[in-house]
Structure 1
Amino acid sequence: MLDVSTEIIINLPKEKVAEFASDPANAPSWCAHIKSVEWNNEAPLRAGAKLVVNEKLMRRRQQLVYEVLEIIPGQKMIMQTSSNGMHMETTVGWQAINENTTCMTLRNRGIPAAFAPFLKLAIRNVNRRNLKQLKKMLELSYRRLVVL
């Protein structure tokens, strides 16, 4: 069983980070491997909602259907996919360090152990890059708003 957890500190309030990162429409802007996300746009996102994620990972294009298992706005979101023989659960969590600083965590669990050593490293690297991109985007956007 594969279990990879990655986190980053983002210098913004938890509510701002969680609001942006939990919106499926924003995923392609900070997740390099996600090319598009299709969903029913029934706001707010809720348990049972299905998301079709078109991605390119390790030079392969694939379409995965994720189901939202649980969502607690501003705290965590848990999704899972069993598409294309890939069984993966993704948990995204947000924890306030203080009123202007958030620790965001991505956790991926699943995939048979035979692939775990290679995929664990690949998933960790992708998640680190994605979280760095999210941090850069959000902090830069917030600084622009403050300057205006």
Structure 2
Amino acid sequence: MSIVDVSTEIVIARPRHDVAAYASDPDTATTWYANIAAVEWKSAKPAVIGSRIAFVATFLGRRLSYTYRVTELVPDERFVMRTDEGPFRMETSYAWSDAGEGLTRMVLRNRGEPSGFGKIAAPVMAAAMRRANTKDLARLKTILEATGAGE
């Protein structure tokens, strides 16, 4: 069994509520995730447990379409989404904690079990995810630390 489990984190100089509100809003995903091209709500906004959101992304040169279902939502603490179908079942989770006065630690974790060719490419996939997640969190930090951004 080839499981991909990639966890990355960053400290952002913004209060936890601001970071969590921005990062857990699927409508902001195209601004801070380089690989996400489009987001489409399949259920009513805002996100609640059970909400379904479709994403179109590019990863390792391939166009991917997948729908996440929100499975856990604890405001300002945790946000978890899972795919139920597709070639690569994935769970994406965000966790936020205080990291000092006005600082927030955000952990982005992607965990899944690839099928088909993905099983063979799992180590390459994990390395590519880690690089992409590190860049995406850096972009999120830049956006949120810019004056007035995310408000």
TM-score (norm 2): 0.88
Task: Report the Cα distance in structure 1 between the residues aligned to 2:52 and 2:112, rounded to whole angstroms.
Answer: 19
Give structure 1 stretches of 5+ with no counterpart: none
| Alignment of 1:130 onto 2:136 | yes
Task: Report the Cα distance in structure 2 between the residues aligned to 1:47 and 1:17, rounded to whole angstroms.
Answer: 20
Task: Report the Cα distance in structure 2 between the residues aligned to 1:141 and 1:37, rounded to whole angstroms.
Answer: 26
RMSD in angstroms over aligned alpha carbons?
1.7
| Alignment of 1:46 onto 2:48 | yes
Hey, what does 2:122 align to over in structure 1?
Answer: 116
Hey, what does 1:89 align to over in structure 2?
Answer: 91
Encode CA deviations 1:78-132: one digit per residue, 9 max, x unaligned.
1111433111111111111124000001111112453321111000001001000
| Alignment of 1:63 onto 2:65 | yes
Q: Quick one: which amino acid aligns to residue 93 of structure 1? A: A
1:42 is displaced (CA, Å) by: 2.8
Q: Quick one: which amino acid aligns to residue 50 of structure 1? A: R
Identity %: 38
Give structure 2 stretches of 5+ with no counterpart: none
Size of the alignment, in residue pairs?
Answer: 144
Q: Quick one: which amino acid aligns to residue 121 of structure 2? A: F
Q: Quick one: which amino acid aligns to residue 5 of structure 1? A: S
Task: Report the Cα distance in structure 1 between the residues aligned to 2:124 and 2:60, rounded to whole angstroms.
Answer: 11
Hey, what does 1:105 align to over in structure 2?
Answer: 107
Q: Quick one: which amino acid aligns to residue 137 of structure 1? A: I
Given candidates 11, 15, 30, the residue that maps to 1:28 is: 30
1:14–1:99 Cα contact (<8 Å) kept: no
Q: Quick one: which amino acid aligns to residue 15 of structure 1? A: H
TM-score (norm 1): 0.90
Hey, what does 2:18 align to over in structure 1?
Answer: 16
1:69–1:79 Cα contact (<8 Å) kept: yes
Q: Quick one: which amino acid aligns to residue 138 of structure 2? A: K
2:15–2:103 Cα contact (<8 Å) kept: yes
